[in-house]
Chains A and B, each alone.
Chain A
């Protein structure tokens, strides 16, 4: 089985978000970058499947050289090899098109992404990629098993869950619950240093959208405290003052 996992390089979840250059750029100063947590789950699940059934897991990232620590970490977790498409990931369409151009002749049995990146929260790459490659795309899967060329999947839907089957190849986006992340061990970290990381140049496509400026939400006013001995008062404040109930 030949599996591709798309990974994104994102700021750590504890990052205090700020912007520079007149609010046009994310301020990366002092920010620790990690593999997008959902992508890491996708990678771990892909490894579990190939370890049991045989096969390889390739990770692909669209990014400049500064994403390589995250790619090396993916290799340390257990990916077979890695590809970095050497370009600034301007928007989801651009990223998906780059990955599609790389993947179209590689014969992957299935492709996993995270359900969204925790920085730009687009959640679009899996669907874009599926359409570009002419494959089904299944969003936010919480379970996947492969059996005789058929994937048995479960996905979140509004207010519930759907079980579905899909023949190979396909693209699916990982949701929490798919598996537990793995911490790389020393052997993995050593092995990652010599695993192949291929850098390919992007194909000339233009991104159809661009984030032109950023803004932080307006700060909250002071919190109105209610005496715990008189907690029922909250309900009348919510009803009469805030008018939300």
Chain B
């Protein structure tokens, strides 16, 4: 199967989610006797482009026009569509990042392709083309059969191992003629919180709930997160009362995440919250109420007061980190 992957970059660097998508596509290509064309959009160095070959890109198409340095859903979807034609691809793989989510359905509509988002499995091609995706905000999985001749698959970040699969570096520059009149969104300002790990890509997450009693106590959450190299998150009530920004809210109506480690502090574990975090590999619950439902969903638990327990955990974490 011939596959096109969107190799998204942020300021000239490929994201971890991009390597994950390339490795995912390479996995499908090797089992279907196919090939992977990674599509990079915007200015980027050849050294960086070559990284895509490390994870299994047979061909790298670079659309390096300066006009494409700013992301727009309209222009980027036209570029990807062009790449699909050039490569003769039947499948487009995109990581479900914010930009990926914006561009993937537009590509699907252009190609009249069926699309599945939030995909967490390799396709099963023994009878059709079936992928598994998470539904009901993590409360269940659905197996989706895609019957259209072209397909778009958007994978959930952190769902696949980034296997190396080195190929010869084959970089080609390409130019798609963009319909300028169709590009009507204009970026005014981009602000990125510096030094922060994006929650959806984080492997470790430390999260606080109402049990933290107030935003002034968040330094405990942040110190533990910084020590471990984790991202910070919070429960819905905490973002509703503006202790923390809504971008940190994980749960059914917030972000769904699946890190390797999720530490929940002072969060009772309502069904809506668990929905957003239950696919985490290891869950730790810290709560003073032994009846908190989170303990039923956790691998490790501490029944105790967060303000007594956290300093001990932070100290042990610092000790571990300084020893390594």
Contacts and interface: CB of A to CB of B under 8 A. Distances in A.
Interface string A7-20: 00001011111010
A128 B105 contact: yes
Contact of A134 (B116, B182, B282): B182
Nearest to B275: A13
A217 B73 contact: no
Interface string A206-236: 0111111111110011011111101111111
B254 A176 contact: yes
Contacts of B143: 211-215
A157 B302 contact: no
Contacts, number: 281
Interface in A102-133: 118-128, 130-132
A220 B277 CA distance: 13
A145 interface: no
Contacts of A159: 192-193, 196-198
A68 interface: no
A220 B297 contact: yes
B213 interface: no
Given A121-B256, A209-B147, A238-B300, A92 B134 contact: no
B241 interface: no
A245 B228 contact: yes
A155 to B, nearest CB: 8
A167 B133 CA distance: 35
Nearest to A14: B271
B180 interface: no
A112 to B, nearest CB: 15
A224 B303 CA distance: 11
Interface string B273-300: 0000011011111000000000111111
Interface stretch (B44-52, B85-93, B311-319): B311-319
A93 B151 CA distance: 12
Nearest to A120: B135
A212 B130 contact: yes
Contact of B185 (A138, A228, A242): A138
Given A96-B109, A140-B98, A166-B186, A223 B145 contact: no
A235 B185 contact: no
A81 to B, nearest CB: 27
A101 B200 CA distance: 35
Contact of A211 (B139, B142, B253): B142
A226 B73 contact: no
Interface residues of B, number: 102
Interface in A45-96: 91-93, 96
A215 B192 CA distance: 38
A214 B192 contact: no
B302 A226 contact: yes
Contacts of B246: 142, 175-177
A160 B97 CA distance: 12
A147 interface: no
A135 B196 CA distance: 33
B73 A138 contact: yes
A127 B106 CA distance: 5
Given A127-B101, A131-B109, A166-B186, 10 more contacts: A125-B105, A155-B98, A164-B188, A176-B239, A208-B112, A209-B144, A211-B143, A216-B141, A232-B315, A245-B320
Interface of A: 11, 13-17, 19, 37-38, 91-93, 96, 118-128, 130-132, 134-140, 142, 152, 155-167, 170, 175-177, 207-217, 220-221, 223-228, 230-239, 242, 244-245
Interface of B: 10, 15, 72-74, 77, 97-99, 101-106, 108-110, 112-118, 130, 133-148, 182-193, 196-198, 200-201, 203-204, 228, 239, 246-247, 249, 252-254, 256, 260-261, 271-272, 278-279, 281-285, 295-305, 308-310, 312-313, 315-317, 319-320
